[in-house]
Structure 1
Amino acid sequence: MNSKILKYIVFGFALLLGVNGLSQNIKIKGVVVDKNSRQPLAYATIVVADTKTKQAITGGITADDGAFMVETKASDFYIEVTYMGFISKTFTEFKLKNHTIDLGTIALEEDASQLDEVVVRAETSRTEFKLDKRIFNVGKDIASTGASALELLNNVPSVNVNIEGIISLRGSSGVQVLINGKPSILTDEGGALGSITADMIESIEVITNPSAKYDAEGTSGIINIIIKKEERKGLNGSVSLNTGVPDNHSIGLSLNRRSEKFNLFTQLGLGRRSYPRDREYRNTDLFNNTELYNTGKQYRNEKFYNVILGTDYYVNPNNVITLSGNFAYEVEDQPSQNNFELYDADDALVSSWKRNETTEATNPKWQYELQYKKDFEDHEDHDLLFSALGHSFAKDQSSLFNDTTISEEDRDAVQRTRADFSENTYTFKLDYTKPFSEQWRMETGAQYVLNDVSNDYQVENLINDVFETDEGLTNIFNYNQKVLGFYATGAYEGEKWGIQAGLRLEQTDLETLLENTNEQNNQNYSNLFPSLHSSYKISEVVSLQAGYSKRIFRPRLWDLNPFFNIRNSFSIRQGNPNLMPEFTNSYEVTSIFDIGKTALNFGVYHRYTTDVVERITTSVNNVNTTRPENIGTNSTYGIEFNSKYSPIQWLTLNIDFNYNGFKRDGTFEDRVFDFKGDQWTSKLMAKFKLPSSIDFEVTGNYQSGYQNIQSDVSDMAFLDLGLRKKILKGKGVLNIGIRDVFASKIEESYTTQDTFLSYNRSMRGRFFSVGFSYGFGKGEAMEYSGGRRH
């Protein structure tokens, strides 16, 4: 786009803000459309300029329907209509009737010389690179229609989410997930992210080496989900409707009202989802040569309601107070049936039975925040930010298990469980940023986090028609953790290179108590977490980034609580009250290339982790018990490659590849767990721009097999498809998505140990979804509009 057009656009916006205060006599009106599609072009720029001096006199922009009207008192002028990516039109001759010039319908034609530049810029904005993070702009994912935040994360470079909902970054699961830069009730459990749909998300930040400014939690890094909040004046919003098979239905509404003093925003979401899962399990006891087979189908059916409400109050241009709240409520229903067969050493059937489960739960969640931000007048980045954040989560769950004998040995039994869980977390944070010049900047701050959790868990067995408490599996577990942190960072950023160094101090005080047995585990420790980041711009198309940080993984409630679940009486998971935190030193170097129609980055990284938390499985009489333990060290080295390439106007390719090798050293109960392994993942997305405003997307994923501390995990490949069509003059968007087209997203693992062998297989299957989104006011439909978003 030439400088003349840019000048007119800037001047047009200035005029829109009230620069032009001249009296107006002549009205100029018309409608601007795309010559090919005949769709209206919103926000096209209209400039009225003096014929002799060529200077702009007045101007404006078109509305959503492409219409415009400007006024002028000038007598000698011409009119120019411009739109990014289109050939401008200039009118020097026109008819004046009743003090009005009606230009009628103005059809602009796409400018091939500018179009490539516009499209490439818009496409490469999908992943933006900053000094210490990458920003993944979500809006263009078609296959994510109706998807939850967890499903959407699977499309983010370097990120994977397995079938259990566990998030990993570069192959490691020690990830801290934030929402709008803060811990949230919606990230405490994997399923809770289901109440955030893709339509509500603006972008996702991937921070593989966080600076000292960030909480040190998360050994693999930080994933920050940014929720949309409209900032345009007036009433704006959008609504979305989604449906799918298996049951996957949701409604979303986003509203924003902006005035001079207030910015009111709200988002509403409700829906229901069903997560069916087919499972197969086989376990061999090598002591007595018995073998247990287990097949079944499990469901997680949930209804969810999510409300976000908040306001920004602009006390004056330099002081803003934000008050916001989030309420989420989930109703769970988890019916399942498992079929069991037990065989003796002679391969004779000992018993055959089925285990039916009925589980119901309600999960109310609250989050509330008060935030104050002060901008100092000496520099736009000189500010002070204080926030007080509280959130609470409760779970009231009851389960009934009924074992019914099918043949041979009697296995009839009835068992029920009850869980009353509550968690309250309070976070107080103060951040101060002071630029000393355009190149030098300092940041400092403090944070105090209080986490108070209680889990009351009871197991009862039906004996002689009376439920009796199983004292060995019943207990109340209390968890109380306080973390106080201070940090300071200093940064220099010049035209060619920049550097940022920081140091964070965190003091942790942890207390746990098993009330029934009065077992306590108190830990108190302080740690320093340094960070260092640097960037160098070799040329206009090549840049280098390097980073180092130290991170911590603190065991959470479910890692520490010895009473976890007995959903499957032959596969039990427990916590470990004596678990210690693990620490990771992380290093990386990344090169970034922006060459014409290609944007790519290539990086190498290394992570060294001590006191690694691993889940160890032991087996007695075909009953497997899994429990986390601190086992030795892990050294990981890897390479990562991301690329975006648009060889032709209608095709864009996105490639993501990650490889890492690792070396594990550790000993547990006189057993040596030393081994080496590697794994790699890749994604390929092809996006096709078809006629009639249709976009088509194909995304292929592959995850290699790998070895963990006890098992071999098989590889996995799956394919997602998406189709999008703009309707209703571009204000509406229709989406169709198919996830896991061939139902090939199957997780299976083989465990070979001295005392037992086991095989696990799990599959969720194909998901089909249809979605519709509509934007009103100055809002947009919940999608990215290609290369012409303003």
Structure 2
Amino acid sequence: MNQTEIINIFTKKTLGLTFVLSAAAFAFGQEKVGISGTVVNKNNQPVPYASVTFSNKTSKLLSDAALTDEKGQYKLDITPGNYDITVEAIDYKKSVVNKQIATAGSIGALSIEPEKSSTNIKTGDIQAVVITAQSTKPYKVELDKRTYDPSQDIVSKGGNLQDVLSNVPSVSVDTDGTVSMRGSSNVKFLINGKPSALLGIDDGANALQSIPADQIEKIEVITNPSSKFEASGTAGILNIILKKSKKTGFNGSVIGTLGYLPQTNLNANLNWRKGNFTWFLNGGGGYRESKNTSRNNDYFNNAALDDDLVKRDTNSETKSKNNNYNASAGVVYDITEKTSVNASGTVRTFDSENFGNIDYAYTPFKNPFYTSNRSTFGTNNNLAFQGDFGLDHKFDDKGQNLSLSLSLQRSRSYNDTNIDDTINSLKDIINQNTINKTVIGKVDYELPIGEMSKLEAGYRIDINTNDYSNDVRESTATKPLDFLKPYTYDATYKETFNAFYLQFKSKIGKLGYQIGVRDELSNVDINYLSLNPNPAKNSVITTKNYNNLFPSVYLSYDFSKDNQLLLNYTRRIDRPRSFFMIPNPNYSDNQNIFDGNIDLNPSYVDSFEFGYSISKKKFTLNPTLYFRHQTDDTKMLVYNILATDDNGDIINPKRIESHTKPINLGTDDRYGLDFNFNWDATNWLKFLGNVDLFGYNTKGSTLYDTFDKDGNPIQAVANFEGKGFSTRARLSSTIKVDKTFSFQLQGFYRGGQKTAYQDRKDMYAINFGASKTIWKGDGTLAFNIQDIFNTRSMRSTTYTANSVRDSYMQWQPRQFSVSLTYRFKQGEKIEQTKKKKDINSNATGDDQQGGPM
């Protein structure tokens, strides 16, 4: 792709959408005048960081607010009119005066009086003023989670959610886009505390790449979620908090990115806050190309082929062109000081074209060497909608709250693939359509008990329906195009979860505790109808019911402020993915086939953590010892069979098919030390690191059907047992050259793991990023290189009864990008809502919770 084509894609596909979003700015324009003033106490001394609110007597939409600086001064652009001016500051009495503002200039000094005994204020109601500046610590430890702030992550600027997750402590992203925490890929994703249509179409790398890094405010890493959270996700929960500005007036930013492999992105974040209304509008789109390379070398030790095949080399390269767009809009309206309602909507599209080539090289024992080629062209079209509605009510100012929410989601995915196989004169046409519909309803209630305790309770219902339609047609030189019956089916997967939770938290001296229990009633219905001529496999109706209790216990002991011990235990569940349970969910390569397993059941994990956290001005240290015991673990069984036709007869000439199938088997124990730290070594040098030293002990073996050297069916044993020790490590170093320029180096390493079934090799990668602030702080220019030495690839050796497979896979080669961010109307960040000084308060997003600190 030449430079002209890249520029055309950038302008035609993304620039227009962002201009539409940015045009909203003109709707907020008013003729305003610039005013200034000061806030002083009775001794005429300046009062810093006081909240000054201008409430327009005619229209609340014209109201605005400001925050005084360290000299007690403030400036504001405001529409002329009659205003009630409210001044508030911690340890001072609230003051209200009325002024008519007609012209620009100073309105003079506003005086406030101190509280009668500000030093003796007990737990009670205060008017909170929240001052937010750039955090010096990108990583923060709390009782039940760890929070990562990506704003200082230079390497990911201009990237997407997948790029950001690659830098989050305790989180790893494999070369195929699979996200894992502490070595387990059973991670539950939430957006603002709820499952989201942004990730609802697919759970792979495509979904992660559709969320721009610029829209992410923070990521909560919850390795041991409490009973308040849904119990699925044995590895833990990643809660992605998207930006929602608290700044008054109109604020926003626009970011554009150009990169190679060719990529273009343009995104806008717009916010408007006036009076009782808060609006936001975020969206954008982009174009991206990707290149996936994989190699499999299969060595057969007893192949039952006429020509005695002893080796099959498979080389695959897939290139894709992707377009994605997303837009979110919402409003929050404060009905009263204690009650507010909110509504938001999200739409996301993802389209791709995929070009693939698979080369097979066969090395027989008797006959000459020969090759085969399988070329693929596929299109993918995804569309998702989501609507969220909520109501929040405070019964009083002591923390008794009720929250109601409803989320309606729908997504659909159309996938069409055309495959040509040269040596067998085969042509396959595959059409895969999936429609997902989800309804989530929640009720959460909080009741403070005394000064140090809180009771929480809630109910949640999830109804999730997936409709699958899979048509596979095949033609040969001797057979016209017709359905490949074992792989043509319609299926409906429906799951309904009802959950109730109750938890209590309190504190006795320096000891904090939280105990809770969650009860989940699960119902799964699968209706599978296939064209398979085998009556036992052409129609399956299955219903599964589960009722499980999931307790959680948290303990903390405070030695001093920001210095504490943490101990917790939780029980979790790993529910099979829906497409894992469809008997034949995937057919894209007639020699490498993925089989579903309708008999797959959930697995369960008991998780323990014992950690220590200390946070000082220059550093934060957080070592955590952990142990996880998982039963009925889901493992991937790889086996070989002789290919058969629709009637079950062995194909002549004989052909070997390699199958992969998920099964429940044995136990899996993980234990280790997860050590996270950040250190501001000097004013110009900072480090952020994560080291996970872990051991594993896997048990389980099973029988499976295969064939002997004469082609006769036999049973063999797959042994998954293995134990050992490995390492994962990440280190980022940020160097600040001056106030406007910084650069960052980041290294990643994952040690190898070995079992009797598979030997996975180690992997490492190094990234680079640079950032320059321009336009007096309103702009940022960033540059980054992902995988400088092109080493991020996955290598493994897998052993079966009649073969050994060496595998290599690289999801993306080295790539680089440059991005430009522009921010406008950056107002002061102010909250006027009443808050309570409560050691239990820690509300961040939906479904979030605090804990004894």
- Given the two structures, how large is their TM-score scaled by the length of structure 1? 0.84
Cα distance in 1 between the residues matched to 2:177 and 2:250: 37
Is 1:599–2:620 an aligned residue pair? yes
Alignment counterpart, residue 616 of structure 1, candidates 621, 624, 637: 637
Task: Assess, with a 3 A threshold, how the Cα gap between structure 1 residues 596 and 233 changes in structure 2: closer, same or farther.
Answer: closer
Alignment counterpart, residue 404 of structure 2, candidates 369, 372, 386: 386
- C-alpha distance after superposition, 1:575-601 (max 9, x if no partner): 111100000000001101224422111
User: What aligned pairs does 1:693-704 form with structure 2 within 5 A after superposition?
Assistant: 693-704=740-751
Q: Which amino acid aligns with 2:701?
A: T
Cα distance in 2 between the residues matched to 1:756 and 1:527: 41
Cα distance in 1 between the residues matched to 2:143 and 2:684: 32
Q: Which amino acid aligns with 2:391?
A: Y
Is 1:514–2:528 an aligned residue pair? yes
Alignment counterpart, residue 664 of structure 1, candidates 687, 694, 698: 698
Task: Assess, with a 3 A threshold, how the Cα gap between structure 1 residues 238 and 9 changes in structure 2: closer, same or farther.
Answer: farther
Is 1:360–2:375 an aligned residue pair? no
2:151 aligns to what?
Answer: 139
1:393 positional shift: 1.4
1:15 positional shift: 5.4
1:88 aligns to what?
Answer: none
2:577 aligns to what?
Answer: 556
Q: Which amino acid aligns with 1:357?
A: T
Q: Which amino acid aligns with 2:544?
A: Q
Contact 1:210 1:549 in 2 (8 A): yes
2:53 aligns to what?
Answer: 17
Cα distance in 1 between the residues matched to 2:753 and 2:718: 21
Is 1:499–2:525 an aligned residue pair? no
Q: Which amino acid aligns with 2:466?
A: V
Q: Which amino acid aligns with 2:820?
A: F
Q: Which amino acid aligns with 2:378?
A: T
When the two chains are superposed, the root-mean-square deviation of aligned CA atoms in Å is 2.8
Q: SS of 2:136's equivalent?
A: helix
2:566 aligns to what?
Answer: 545
Is 1:654–2:688 an aligned residue pair? yes
Alignment counterpart, residue 590 of structure 2, candidates 533, 546, 569: 569
Cα distance in 2 between the residues matched to 1:419 and 1:73: 69
Task: Assess, with a 3 A threshold, how the Cα gap between structure 1 residues 349 and 685 changes in structure 2: closer, same or farther.
Answer: farther
- C-alpha distance after superposition, 1:477-504 (max 9, x if no partner): 2111111000000001356221100000
Task: Assess, with a 3 A threshold, how the Cα gap between structure 1 residues 74 and 693 changes in structure 2: closer, same or farther.
Answer: closer
Cα distance in 2 between the residues matched to 1:543 and 1:403: 63
Cα distance in 1 between the residues matched to 2:670 and 2:133: 35
Cα distance in 2 between the residues matched to 1:539 and 1:375: 32
Contact 1:423 1:451 in 2 (8 A): yes
- C-alpha distance after superposition, 1:139-172 (max 9, x if no partner): 1111102222122101000001112211101111
Contact 1:433 1:442 in 2 (8 A): yes
2:72 aligns to what?
Answer: 47
Is 1:148–2:160 an aligned residue pair? yes
1:103 aligns to what?
Answer: none
Is 1:266–2:286 an aligned residue pair? no
Contact 1:560 1:576 in 2 (8 A): yes
1:373 aligns to what?
Answer: 392
Alignment counterpart, residue 182 of structure 1, candidates 194, 207, 210: 194
Cα distance in 1 between the residues matched to 2:156 and 2:395: 41
Task: Assess, with a 3 A threshold, how the Cα gap between structure 1 residues 187 and 674 changes in structure 2: closer, same or farther.
Answer: same
Cα distance in 1 between the residues matched to 2:554 and 2:236: 14
1:123 positional shift: 2.2
Alignment counterpart, residue 236 of structure 2, candidates 221, 227, 240: 221
Contact 2:188 2:238 in 1 (8 A): yes
1:334 aligns to what?
Answer: 354
Contact 1:264 1:310 in 2 (8 A): yes
Cα distance in 1 between the residues matched to 2:292 and 2:576: 28
Q: SS of 2:588's equivalent?
A: strand
User: What aligned pairs does 1:765-776 form with structure 2 within 5 A after superposition?
Assistant: 765-776=813-824
Alignment counterpart, residue 314 of structure 1, candidates 334, 356, 359: 334
Q: SS of 2:341's equivalent?
A: strand
With CA pairs under 8 Å and 6+ residues apart, which has the higher RCO, 1 or 2? 2
Task: Assess, with a 3 A threshold, how the Cα gap between structure 1 residues 585 and 73 changes in structure 2: closer, same or farther.
Answer: closer
1:295 aligns to what?
Answer: 315
1:691 positional shift: 2.4
1:533 aligns to what?
Answer: 554
Task: Assess, with a 3 A threshold, how the Cα gap between structure 1 residues 397 and 43 changes in structure 2: closer, same or farther.
Answer: farther
2:36 aligns to what?
Answer: none
2:6 aligns to what?
Answer: none
User: What aligned pairs does 1:625-704 form with structure 2 within 5 A after superposition?
Assistant: 625-669=659-703, 671-691=718-738, 693-704=740-751
Cα distance in 1 between the residues matched to 2:73 and 2:797: 73
Contact 1:240 1:251 in 2 (8 A): yes
- C-alpha distance after superposition, 1:294-331 (max 9, x if no partner): 11311232100101111111111111111111100111
Contact 1:290 1:622 in 2 (8 A): no
2:272 aligns to what?
Answer: 257
Q: Which amino acid aligns with 1:426?
A: V
Cα distance in 1 between the residues matched to 2:761 and 2:701: 25
Instruction: Out of 683-692 and 701-710, give the one that drifted further.
Output: 701-710
Contact 1:457 1:563 in 2 (8 A): no
Cα distance in 2 between the residues matched to 1:267 and 1:422: 25
User: What aligned pairs does 1:270-285 form with structure 2 within 5 A after superposition?
Assistant: 270-285=285-300
Cα distance in 2 between the residues matched to 1:119 and 1:371: 26
Task: Assess, with a 3 A threshold, how the Cα gap between structure 1 residues 138 and 230 changes in structure 2: closer, same or farther.
Answer: same
1:723 aligns to what?
Answer: 770
Q: Percent identity, aligned pairs only? A: 27
Q: SS of 2:580's equivalent?
A: helix
Cα distance in 1 between the residues matched to 2:132 and 2:459: 42
Task: Assess, with a 3 A threshold, how the Cα gap between structure 1 residues 751 and 373 changes in structure 2: closer, same or farther.
Answer: same
Cα distance in 1 between the residues matched to 2:588 and 2:199: 23
- Given the two structures, how large is their TM-score scaled by the length of structure 2? 0.78
Cα distance in 2 between the residues matched to 1:520 and 1:74: 74
Q: SS of 2:50's equivalent?
A: helix
Task: Assess, with a 3 A threshold, how the Cα gap between structure 1 residues 15 and 303 changes in structure 2: closer, same or farther.
Answer: closer
- C-alpha distance after superposition, 1:618-658 (max 9, x if no partner): 02354211010000111111111111112211000111100
Alignment counterpart, residue 344 of structure 1, candidates 341, 350, 364: 364
Q: SS of 1:563's equivalent?
A: coil
Q: SS of 1:366's equivalent?
A: strand
2:306 aligns to what?
Answer: none
1:708 positional shift: 5.0
Cα distance in 2 between the residues matched to 1:15 and 1:301: 50
Contact 1:138 1:201 in 2 (8 A): yes
Q: SS of 1:729's equivalent?
A: helix
Cα distance in 1 between the residues matched to 2:503 and 2:551: 10
Task: Assess, with a 3 A threshold, how the Cα gap between structure 1 residues 74 and 468 changes in structure 2: closer, same or farther.
Answer: closer
- C-alpha distance after superposition, 1:262-308 (max 9, x if no partner): 11111012001112112211112221252111113112321001011
Task: Assess, with a 3 A threshold, how the Cα gap between structure 1 residues 8 and 163 changes in structure 2: closer, same or farther.
Answer: farther
Q: Which amino acid aligns with 2:176?
A: E
Tell me the number of residue pairs that the alignment of Structure 1 and Structure 2 aligns: 693
Q: Which amino acid aligns with 1:136?
A: Y
Q: Which amino acid aligns with 1:391?
A: Q
1:31 aligns to what?
Answer: none
1:384 positional shift: 0.6
- C-alpha distance after superposition, 1:353-399 (max 9, x if no partner): 211110002101111111111112231x3211111111111111110
Q: SS of 1:274's equivalent?
A: strand
1:44 positional shift: 4.1
Task: Assess, with a 3 A threshold, how the Cα gap between structure 1 residues 307 and 595 changes in structure 2: closer, same or farther.
Answer: closer
Structure 1 unaligned runs (5+)? 22-41, 50-54, 60-67, 76-117, 405-409, 781-790
1:350 positional shift: 4.3
